[in-house]
A and B are shown apart, each in its own frame.
Chain A
Amino acid sequence: MIRLEGVSKTFAQRGGVGYTALEDIGFEIGKGEFVSILGPSGCGKSTLLNLVAGLERADRGRVEANGKAVAAPGPDRIVVFQDHALYPWLTVLENVAFGLKQKGIGKKERRERAMEQIRAVHLGKFADRYPHELSGGMKQRVAIARALVMDPEILLMDEPFAALDEQTRLLLHKELEQIWLNTRKTILFITHNIREAVTLSERVLVMSTRPGRIKKEFRVQAARPREPGDSVLHHIESQIMDTLAAELEKVAKEEYGDDYTLEKSPLSPSAAHNLGDGI
C-alpha cells in the first residue's frame, strides 16, 4: 500500500530560483493494485517514484509505504530502473541473488530462489552469462527477476520498457501482466506511453507539468488478460489523449517558444484550395 499526502518537492536551480517538480500530490494505491503514472517528460513522475522508493526526500507532505513513513530505500520497495542498473561484474545469477546475499541467506538457497525467478522470466539458459552478453529486453527481464526474488510488497517501475524496441516491449507487457496476475504485487508504473499505461494498469493517474500535479484519474475496467484490440482501451486512450493535449502544448512552448501552438485549422490551405479539383 502506498499513500501520499500533500507532497511537494522543489529542486535548487542555478540563479537561486527553485524549480517546483511536484506540488501538493496526494493519492493512495491499495494493496495488489497496478497503477500507472502517466505524464509528459519533465513532469516529475520519476521524482515521485524516487520519493516512494526513498531515494529522495519530499520537502513537504507525507509519503507512506506499507503503513510506515518512507525514510530510506529498502527491500520492501524494489525499483526496476529504465537502464536496468545490473552490475556488470556479476553474472545473471549473481545479480539476481545479490539482494538475497545481503539478507544473509545461504549460498544454496540463494541459488535455488534466484534460479526460480530467472526461469520465471525465461532466462534459465542464460544464468551464467554476464549482462554485456544480453540484449536490452533480456537485461530488463533480469532486473525484474532481481526485484521479484526479494518478494517485495511494492514493485516500483521507472519507465522500464522505454528503451526497448516495440516488439520486445509488447512481449514484456504480456509477461509483466502475467507476473502481476500470479503474484498480485502492488505495482507503481511510471511511463510516458499512453498505450502502455492503459494496457497494463487498473488505474492511470495523469500528471500535469510545471508544477507536477495529478490532473486526472482514469479507471481501466477491461478484461484480463488485456487484448490490444479491446475497444475499452481505445476509448480510454483517446480520453487521456485529450487530457494531455494541453500539457503537450505547455511542454512544446517551453522548448520552442511562446509562438508555438498545437491548434490546427480544420482544413489545410492546400486542401481547401483543391476542393473539388478531382471531380
Chain B
Amino acid sequence: MHWGWRFPSALQTMRTFYDGMADGQLLKATLGSLRRILVAFGLSCAIGIMLGVLFARSRLLDETFGFVVVALQTVPSIAWLPFAIIWFGLNDFAVVFITTIGATWTMTIASRSGIKNIPPIYVKSAQMFGTGRGLRLFYQVMVPAAIPQLITGMRMAWAFAWRALVSGELIARGVGLGQLLEEGRSLGDTSLMLCIVLVIAILGTISDHLVFKRIEDRVLTLYGLQTAKA
C-alpha cells in the first residue's frame, strides 16, 4: 500500500490552489456554488419567513401543522435528493431545490418564534398610535421587532444551506465545488480535494464572520440585548 498520494502535502495543495485559480477551474466552481447557494438562501429566507409568520399568526395552523415543520427539520436535506432527481432530473435545479429545503425549516422555526416573542407592549403601543392590526402593524412593528431572531435564523440557515449544497453537488451534475470534489476523487487528486474542503471552510468562515456576525452584533446592540463592544 502506498499512502503518500492519499495525504497531500501543504505545498502540493497550495500549488493546486494556485493552478486551479489560474486556469479558472476552481474559481468557476466556487462562483457556481456561490450562485446556487445565494439563490437557494434567498428562496429559503422568503419561504421560511412567510411560513413562520403564518404559523405565528394562526394558532390553528400552528397546532395542526406546526409539528410537521419540526419533523421536516430533522430530515437531512440530502434525503430529498432522490426525489429531486426523479422530479427535476440530475441537474442544477435539483441541487438548488434540496439546498432550499435544507435551509427553509430552520428559517421557518426562527421566524415563527421571532414573531411570537415580540414584546406585547410594542404591539399595544403601535395600536395606540393608530397602526391598526393589519399590514402597517406588520411591516412597521412586527418585522423590525423580530429582526434579532430572524438574523440568528439566517445565520443557521446559511450553515445548513452549505451542507445541503455540497452534498447535493457531489451527486448532481453542473459546475460547483461539490462536483470538483467528486472529480478529484475519481482522478485520485487528493490535493484538489483538500483544496476544495479548505475553500468551503474559508468561505463559510468569511461569510459568517464578516457578514452574519457583524450584522448580528450590530442588531443586538441596537436592540439593547447586548452592550456595545469598545
Contact = CB atoms under 8 A, between A and B. Distances in A.
B148 to A, nearest CB: 9
Interface in B87-143: 119, 121-122, 124-125, 127-131, 136, 140-141
A87 B122 contact: yes
B228 to A, nearest CB: 8
Interface residues of A, number: 24
Contacts of A102: 129-131, 136
Contact of A99 (B122, B130, B222): B130
Contact of A88 (B121, B140, B223): B223
B125 A79 contact: yes
B4 interface: no
B127 A89 contact: no
Contacts of B119: 85
A22 B175 CA distance: 70
B225 to A, nearest CB: 9
Contact of A87 (B127, B130, B141): B141
B55 to A, nearest CB: 23
A132 B144 contact: no
Contacts of B140: 98
Interface in A35-87: 53-55, 72-75, 77-79, 81, 83, 85, 87
A132 B130 contact: no
A74 B128 CA distance: 5
B170 interface: no
Contacts of A73: 124, 127-128
A164 to B, nearest CB: 17
B147 interface: yes
A150 B129 contact: yes
Contacts of A72: 127
Contact of B128 (A53, A83, A88, A130): A53
A54 B129 CA distance: 12
B38 to A, nearest CB: 26
Contacts of B222: 88-89, 130, 132
Interface residues of B, number: 20
Contacts of A74: 128, 130
Nearest to A73: B128
A160 interface: no
B127 A132 contact: no
B224 A132 contact: yes
B133 to A, nearest CB: 9
B9 interface: no
A55 B123 CA distance: 10
Contacts of B124: 55, 73, 79, 85
A150 B128 CA distance: 10
A103 interface: yes
A145 to B, nearest CB: 13
A79 B121 CA distance: 11
Contact of A89 (B121, B125, B136, B223): B223
Given A74-B130, A103-B130, A88 B224 contact: yes
A126 to B, nearest CB: 15
Nearest to B125: A85
Interface in B203-230: 221-224
B144 A83 contact: no
A132 B221 contact: yes
A99 B119 CA distance: 19
A171 B119 CA distance: 29
Contacts of B128: 53-55, 73-75, 77-79
A130 B222 CA distance: 7
A55 B224 CA distance: 26
A131 interface: yes
Contacts of A132: 221-224
A75 B130 contact: yes
B75 to A, nearest CB: 35
Contacts of B141: 87
20 contacts: A53-B128, A55-B128, A72-B127, A73-B128, A75-B128, A75-B129, A75-B130, A81-B125, A83-B121, A85-B121, A85-B125, A87-B122, A87-B144, A88-B223, A89-B223, A99-B130, A102-B131, A102-B136, A132-B221, A132-B222
Interface of A: 53-55, 72-75, 77-79, 81, 83, 85, 87-89, 98-99, 102-103, 130-132, 150
Interface of B: 119, 121-122, 124-125, 127-131, 136, 140-141, 144-145, 147, 221-224
Given A73-B128, A79-B125, A81-B121, 15 more contacts: A75-B129, A77-B128, A78-B129, A79-B124, A85-B122, A85-B125, A87-B122, A87-B145, A88-B224, A89-B144, A98-B129, A102-B129, A103-B130, A130-B222, A131-B224
